């Protein structure tokens, strides 16, 4: 067993070193982006971090856990609906509060480092998906700059930076939501079924970060059904798939159990609040999916305006009405090209199913499904949508830009590429020009002391 693990580690180290030796320039740029992202998040973090009621409450609760060994069964409350999240965020930040000698700066530094890890994760996913060969990090002659551009834009986005340098439960969602989606890719497309367990764990973190994480559940269910259909008729494969699925549900239940235990001891008040929120929908959510369709263009525009455009209307318009439709057209072109689409029948479905076995098409499909459920779900919400509500798909616009970038540099003319480069330079400039560090620090923690 030890020898097998050692061999696996040696193989991993060899692959990393081989990748670095073949992609030195890309690695240098990536390191530069990560260092820039770290600087923008960690510079004077004790003075720039948000430290208001929620952050102070969290620090006190976690300190009690560490000093008095007082177990925590319930997490932060939501802003509406009188609902409570699970306590997993408190346990996650506890080691960092302890390492910082109970200073609230410790958890904020952890959030900042998690934000830097998300920059790397964005690069990794774009490079792995759009387009690739048969294996992750496989060397390819295709243009790979889209991954660097996506990572750079994520690293310098003002809104992302603001939510990456303060200890607050929704701030872990971008990383864990992307991990949830990527783990789906591993067990749905790459057939590495053990990743179902990763989906369960990451989803536990997402759902205890913010209840909008519920919008990832239909995505998991959709690809779970697709995967089950793929192994249908293969008895051993179905048995293993079901076994791991049941195990993953058990892991998820364990992660959620403190909240359930607390709720059971207090007359199921949290469950009643959740039920009221979704069933008494006059002022919260709509039960009619079609009612939100007309909101979709504005919703996509608003999310891009906040997350990737630094509140610049022109950039948001281009990304919303050129990049997103362009992404969809690329996907549909590759999916249906060569298929006989006269009638909707089993032959057409079989053809589509076979196309989804292609790595490059499947990656577009997974991201498209994520986009669909994210925006359709948010369109049903009747109240004001704050920037952190986009947290469960913060990384989506950057993945779309990365995918379209790679396609443009492989298929378009030199003139189109030149225009594209100018637009990217402008986007980078606007994001850097509105960087949060240009404003004086709020020093909220110092004022609260």
Segments making up each domain of the chain, as ranges: 28-174+257-448
Predicted local distance difference test score (pLDDT) of residue 449: 67
pLDDT for residue 139: 45
pLDDT at 135: 40
pLDDT at site 136 = 40
The whole-number pLDDT of residue 138 equals: 44
CA dist 164 and 137 (Å) reads 27
Burial-class residue 244 by CB neighbours within 10 Å (0-12, 13-18, 19+): middle
Q: To which residue do tokens 């919703």 refer?
A: 299
Cβ-proximal residues to 300 (8 Å cutoff; 6+ apart), any chain: 320, 324, 375
Of 197, 208, 218, residue with least CA distance to 171: 208
Closest by alpha carbon to 302, among 437, 397, 175? 397
Q: What is the pTM of this model?
A: 0.93
The pLDDT score that the predictor gives to residue 283 is 65
Residues 6+ apart with CB under 8 A from 215: 373, 374, 377, 378, 392
For residue 101, the model assigns a pLDDT of: 94
Q: What is the pLDDT along the chain (449 residues), one digit of tens a residue?
A: 555 566 677 788 888 888 888 889 999 999 999 999 999 999 999 999 999 888 999 999 999 999 998 899 999 988 776 789 999 999 999 999 999 999 999 999 999 999 999 999 999 999 999 975 434 434 445 667 999 999 999 999 999 999 999 999 999 999 999 999 999 999 999 999 999 999 999 999 999 999 899 999 999 999 999 999 888 878 898 999 999 999 999 999 999 999 999 999 988 888 888 877 777 655 666 667 677 788 899 999 999 999 999 999 999 999 999 999 999 999 999 888 877 766 667 777 778 888 898 998 999 999 999 999 999 999 988 778 889 999 999 999 999 999 999 999 988 999 999 999 999 999 999 999 999 999 999 988 888 76
Can you give the pLDDT at residue 235?
87
User: What was the pLDDT predicted at 281?
Assistant: 55
Return the closest-CA partner of residue 162 out of 386, 426, 324: 386
The reported pLDDT for the residue numbered 230 is 86
222: exposed, middle or buried (Cβ count in 10 Å: 0-12, 13-18, 19+): middle
Instruction: Look at the chain and count its residues.
Output: 449
The pair of structure tokens assigned to 252 is 């998820």
């Amino acid at each position: 067993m030890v020898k097998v693990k050692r061999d696996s580690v040696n193989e991993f180290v060899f692959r990393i070193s081989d990748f670095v030796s073949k992609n030195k320039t890309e690695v240098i740029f990536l390191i530069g982006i990560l260092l820039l992202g770290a600087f923008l998040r960690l510079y004077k973090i004790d003075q720039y971090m948000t430290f208001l009621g929620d952050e102070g409450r969290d620090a006190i609760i976690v300190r009690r856990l560490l000093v008095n060994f007082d177990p925590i069964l319930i997490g932060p409350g939501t802003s509406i609906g009188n609902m409570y999240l699970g306590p997993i965020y408190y346990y996650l930040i506890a080691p960092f509060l302890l390492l910082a000698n109970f200073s609230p700066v410790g958890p904020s530094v952890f959030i900042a480092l998690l934000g830097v890890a998300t920059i790397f994760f964005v690069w990794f996913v774009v490079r792995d998906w759009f387009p690739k060969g048969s294996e992750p990090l496989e060397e390819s002659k295709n243009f790979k700059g889209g991954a660097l551009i996506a990572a750079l834009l994520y690293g310098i986005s003002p809104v992302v930076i603001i939510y990456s340098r303060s200890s607050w439960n929704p701030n872990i969602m971008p990383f864990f939501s992307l991990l949830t989606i990527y783990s789906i890719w591993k067990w749905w497309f790459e057939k590495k079924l053990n990743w179902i367990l990763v989906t369960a764990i990451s989803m536990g973190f997402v759902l205890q970060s913010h209840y909008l994480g519920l919008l990832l559940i239909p995505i998991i269910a959709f690809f779970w059904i697709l995967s089950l259909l793929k192994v249908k008729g293969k008895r051993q494969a179905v048995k293993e798939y079901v076994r791991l699925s049941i195990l993953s549900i058990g892991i998820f239940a364990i992660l959620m159990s403190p909240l359930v235990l607390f709720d059971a001891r207090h007359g199921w008040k949290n469950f009643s609040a959740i039920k009221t929120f979704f069933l008494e929908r006059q002022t919260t959510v709509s039960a009619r999916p079609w009612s939100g369709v007309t909101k979709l263009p504005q919703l996509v525009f608003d999310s891009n305006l906040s997350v990737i455009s630094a509140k610049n209307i022109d950039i948001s318009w281009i990304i919303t009405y050129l990049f997103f439709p362009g992404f969809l057209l690329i996907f549909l072109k590759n999916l249906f090209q060569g298929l006989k689409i006269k009638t909707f029948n089993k032959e057409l479905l079989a053809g589509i199913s076979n196309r989804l076995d292609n790595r490059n098409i499947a990656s577009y499909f997974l991201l498209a499904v994520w986009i669909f459920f994210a925006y359709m779900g948010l369109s049903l919400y009747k109240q004001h949508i704050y920037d952190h509500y986009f947290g469960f798909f913060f990384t989506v616009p950057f993945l779309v830009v990365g995918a379209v970038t790679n396609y443009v540099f492989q298929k378009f003319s030199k003139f189109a590429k030149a225009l594209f480069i100018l637009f990217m330079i402008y986007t980078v400039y606007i994001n850097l020009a509105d960087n949060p560090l240009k404003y004086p620090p709020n020093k909220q923690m110092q004022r609260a002391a």
